[in-house]
Each structure stands twice: as structure tokens, then as C-alpha cells.
Amino acid sequence: MPFSPYRHQYIFLLVLCAFSLLTTPTQAVQSPPIVLNLPLPTLHQALTSLLPLPIEQQKRNSNFRGSFVVDSITRLAVQQNVIAVQGQLSGRNMAVNAQVGGQTIQIKLGEMVLPVSCDIALRYDRERKTLFLRPTFYKQARQQDPAAASLAPLLDGLSREYALPLDKLDPLAGKLGVTPIFVQLEPVDIRLRGDSLELQFRPHTGKIGSTKTGKKIR
């Protein structure tokens, strides 16, 4: 979701003020984390801005040919500590290998549009600073649609854990008076809380050097 320059400056000042309030001269380097609650409508809007999203197939899934994308996300909800998602998956130049009479033949499916539903479980690894996402597709949707049944192995292959590294987030840069400074947000925890996605960050601040390399001076 694109941010305007005004909003970027507002977020930077908000983080800086929160850090100033939470830190005292006698406090240790470690500071309490900043908690950001992302409501589901905002998360839905952010994900929609990334569409269409290509789906990378696993190399071991050699029975399928074609390109697959997530076209739309029509529903997003929190149910039993998972994110329930409904959307649309489409494929182009699709073909599937099938066993007929002991021989492997290729069945061309062409283009296909398929409604899908899945639950996404979240797991955050603090040591690796990585968010893991595991989607699980509903089996009943496959049984109601013959096209979905033919794609059942593909959906099974997509039901695996995906890693989203968060250890290289770009710092927020700005000025305090005439002094250029940065705020580096260290991800501490990510979890579902109510109807929101809760993100916890620990801020680290410092001065930005005047060299062209942008070396940070602590």
C-alpha cells in the first residue's frame, strides 16, 4: 500500500515520540516494544494492492504445467487463531499429467478460474526474525467443483509453510532539528489478537553520517 510523503513523516515522528517517551537517560539499551495493531480491513487493503500475485510451484510438482496467480481476495477474517481467506485463483496454459491404462498422458486444461478458500496460520520465530505462513485449503471446495478436484494435488502442494524474513527492514530516516537521524525497527513479535494483526517492534535510534555511504553513527 503506497504511502504519501506526509504520511511517511507522520509515522516517523510518531515512532520517534513513542521512543522518547519510553526511554529515560538511566534506562538500559533495551526499550519496551512499540505495539502496532493492524485491523483486518487495513490488512485486506494492503494485500489487495499486491494483486495479482504469482504463485511459484514446487519443483517436485512436475505433473502440472502453466502459470498461476491469485487474482482477488474477497474475504478476510480471523477464526480460531487463523486468518480465513476467500479469493480467486486463475491459471493460464494449464496442463496436467494423468495415468491412463498404465501410460502417462497430458491433458490440456487451457485457462481456468477457480474460487478457493483457505486458513492461514501464523508463526513468528524471534531468533530468526522470520514470519512463517502456512495456508491450508478447504477440501469441500474441491469436491463441489470438478475443476477444483483436478487441481487438488496443486493445492496440496501449496499447503506448506512459507518464510517471510523481516531482519532487513529499511530504517525510517528524518531530522530532529537539523540533525539527520534514523529509527531502525526491530521486529519482536507478530500475532493475531482479536480482529487485528498485532506487530511489536523495538526501536533503535542513531545519527546518520554525512558521508555518501550513509554510515550510521551511534
Assess whether 172 and 159 both reside in one domain. no
Higher pLDDT, 85 or 177: 85
Assess whether 76 and 143 both reside in one domain. yes
Q: Which pLDDT score is estimated for 67?
A: 81
Confidence of residue 12 (pLDDT cuts 50, 70, 90): low
Assess whether 54 and 159 both reside in one domain. yes
Q: What is the pTM of this model?
A: 0.69
Q: Is the model's pLDDT at 24 over the cut of 50?
A: no
In which domain, by residue range, is 212 found? 5-39+167-217
Assess whether 117 and 211 both reside in one domain. no
Q: Which pLDDT score is estimated for 21?
A: 47
Assess whether 157 and 50 both reside in one domain. yes
Pairwise CA distance, residues 1 & 69, whole Å: 19
Tens of pLDDT, residue by residue over 124-149, are 999 999 999 999 987 654 455 555 56
Q: Which grid cell is 64? A: 502440472
